[in-house]
Amino acid sequence: MPQIVLDATGFRNFQTGVGRYAYNLISNLVPMAPDLRWVILVSHRLTHRHPIMDFAQKEMAIQIVAINAPVIGPRRDIRFLFPISRYDLYHCLNSNHPLFVHRKSVVTLHDFMYINYPQFLGGFSSLKRRYLELLMSHLARRASHIIAISHFLADDFRAYYQNKIKRTLPLSVIYEAATQFSNQSSPTSISAGANPPYFLYYGELRPHKNIDRLIAAFCILKKKIDSPLRLLIAGTPHPSYQLPRPLPAGIDYLGAADDRRLSQIVPASIALCFVSLYEAFGLPILEAMQAGTAVITSNVSAMPEIAGDAAYLVDPYSVDHIADAMYQLYNDQDARAEYIRRGKARVAQFSWQDTARRTLEIYRSLL
């Protein structure tokens, strides 16, 4: 029976975009292929409370292997010098294909941002970029197949490497999808009337997420609105970014938010403000649409591709443009309702089952 290694070392004990992708892919993929056996690699720091542990207990074909290997860095590459187990195919779910995996391999490419925008890497950016260039060049030359999560990302990657390597890139585009937040509950505690209405950002806090311009736009909006209004920011801070302190009046940082918390605050918000400077996909866009929330997002990188005509698109470099979008959705209930309607239709076009089915087709073509 063929054995496939799924490298899910990108799972964390808090929710991340890569973690959502990995869990939803695995949980849909495994039931589709009863003729295959699966080894799932996770970090030795992952707790048994993670949902993948519960899923693995229910599936006889899954073996969880905890390894001491970081998501990225030379120590990860050294760890993969040693055989994990016998396997027929290796799939790295988190972009960072180890340098010393030379068997048949698939890698899911989640972004290419830091090659083109090394300024977002923080300290030692030049050194970090050189290492990333080494990883990505290895991926382009060695991976049996590359899955890009958007056409924007595929085009970006292909344009950079197609003339630098001696083969045609084995590249497919397979979209992510959205699911309802687990532990779904009624948003009564945050509903209108209980608290001032609010806009929302959630996601990891990094420099390219454009939080500072969003805060500046909200401050402009507050000057136009003669009523209580808030901006809620939820997510795990990255070492490369710090929120301004103190935060301006009306802005609250909620810290990291799990699915239960998101199931409360996302549906009750006026709109999700996801005005990043770069996204290779932008999963919160679809998650907000799934939750019945209007979306304001950027008109750059993959965000227009994913949002279609179902979100209010803004220039993320223009504080005034962001503020104008927030003002319109706050004041125009009909426009907001129309974006919610379009969002529900748009998100229905994305399916984790389709993601898994198309990924399985790639596996079978390589086995």
Q: Which residues contact 166 (CB under 8 A, 6 or more apart)?
A: none
Please tell me the predicted confidence (pLDDT) of residue 68: 87
Token duo for residue 60: 């006889």
Q: Between the CA of residue 30 and those of 4, 195, 351, what are the distances in Å?
A: 11, 43, 16
4 membership: H or E segment, kind and range: strand 3-7
- Counting residues of the chain whose pLDDT is more than 70, the rounded percentage is 93
Average pLDDT over residues 130-147: 89
Cα separation of 360 and 366, whole Å?
10
Say if CB 44 and CB 66 are below 8 A apart. Answer: yes
pTM of the model: 0.90
Cα separation of 45 and 64, whole Å?
13
Say if CB 58 and CB 23 are below 8 A apart. Answer: no
**Residue 3 confidence class, pLDDT cut points 50, 70, 90:** very high
Strand pairing class (3-7; 37-43): parallel
Query: First CA to last CA across the chain, in angstroms?
Result: 11
Which tens digits make up the pLDDT trace of 198-227? Answer: 999 999 899 999 999 999 999 999 999 988
Cα separation of 94 and 97, whole Å?
8
Please tell me the predicted confidence (pLDDT) of residue 119: 66
Token duo for residue 236: 């795990």
